[in-house]
Amino acid sequence: MDVLKIIPLKERDKVKEITLDMAGSMGQIAKQCFPKATRVIDRFHVQKLVLDALQGYA
């Protein structure tokens, strides 16, 4: 995280969207380092979560 904060906030504020996996720590880092960016969970991890849940009911 400290490495990202080397980038001036003015530049980090230009980031509009960040794609993340579902790890909570990554979300916190994104929020602190890129406060204006929208955080989006990547499609692969959402699909895997849904498929794993559905297979449990089969």
> Mean pLDDT for each consecutive 10-residue tract of the chain (58 residues)?
92 96 87 94 87 82
Looking at residue 16, its pLDDT comes to 97
Looking at residue 4, its pLDDT comes to 92
Of the candidates 21, 51, 16, the one whose C-alpha atom is nearest the C-alpha of residue 36 is: 16
Q: Structural domain boundaries of the chain? A: 4-56
Looking at residue 22, its pLDDT comes to 82
Q: How many CB atoms lie within 10 A of CB 30?
A: 20
Q: How far apart are CA 26 and CA 20, in angstroms?
A: 7
Looking at residue 45, its pLDDT comes to 82
Looking at residue 58, its pLDDT comes to 59
